[in-house]
Amino acid sequence: MKKIFKNGLLIQNPVLVQLLGLCSTMAITTTLFNGLGMGVSVTVILTCSNIVISLLRKIIPNKIRIACFVVVIAGFVTIVEMLLKAFLPALNDSLGVFIPLIVVNCIILGRAEAFASKNGVLRSAADGAAQGIGYTLVLAAMCVIRELLGSGTFGGGIIGDGVRIIPQQFPAMMMILPFGGFITLGCLIALVQWRTKK
């Protein structure tokens, strides 16, 4: 279990090492509210789908396994989307199309194919949780950096419009644009690679 969590958080981090799920990572990491919402959603879906796929792994025909994985994942995405609409409509509106797109998120499909279809339920659940937490931590880090440098605030969406840290005339607005996402992600990847090699 320790190795599974170490892999999910650092060694095989889905965003920083495997470079998966970058579309949603770039698009929604402008406020901490969005990042945490997306991260928790992906973690829940990833863990639940890994459990179900692991339970069904011996009866799913090999020729249609990807289609079966997509159906299982789509079921959990629908449940999460309905819960967000009912209990967190502001987050649902903010994330928009990226919640339904979790169905084809390569992190979830990749873990289903590489891990859940070959391992037991407990290990698959741990892998889903570890990969999801690793994804959430990267999103949170990117959100904090981009929101702080781009808007000058912290906790936007969680604490109203966020707590102003940097005076309004000083933030670098380009950090909340796609360019800022690429720069932030590139710096985080470089930092992790440097730390891993050291």
Residue 157 placed within a domain: no
Residue 178 placed within a domain: no
Residue 183 placed within a domain: no
Residue pLDDT, tens place only, 109-124: 999 999 999 999 999 9
Residue 145 confidence (pLDDT) = 92
Predicted model pTM: 0.89
Residue 36 placed within a domain: yes
In this prediction, what percent of the chain has a pLDDT beyond 70?
99
Residue 155 placed within a domain: no
Residue 56 placed within a domain: yes
Residue 137 confidence (pLDDT) = 94
Residue 65 confidence (pLDDT) = 92
Q: At what angle do helices 32-56 and 121-151 cross, to 10 degrees?
A: 170
Structural domain harbouring 117: 2-141
Domain count within the chain: 1
Residue 156 confidence (pLDDT) = 73
Residue 99 placed within a domain: yes
Can you spell out the DSSP letters for 166-197? Answer: S-TTS--GGGGSHHHHHHHHHHHHHHHHHHHH
Residue 57 confidence (pLDDT) = 92
Q: Residue ranges of the chain with pLDDT lower than 50?
A: none
Q: At what angle do helices 65-87 and 32-56 cross, to 10 degrees?
A: 140
Residue 135 confidence (pLDDT) = 94
Residue 175 placed within a domain: no
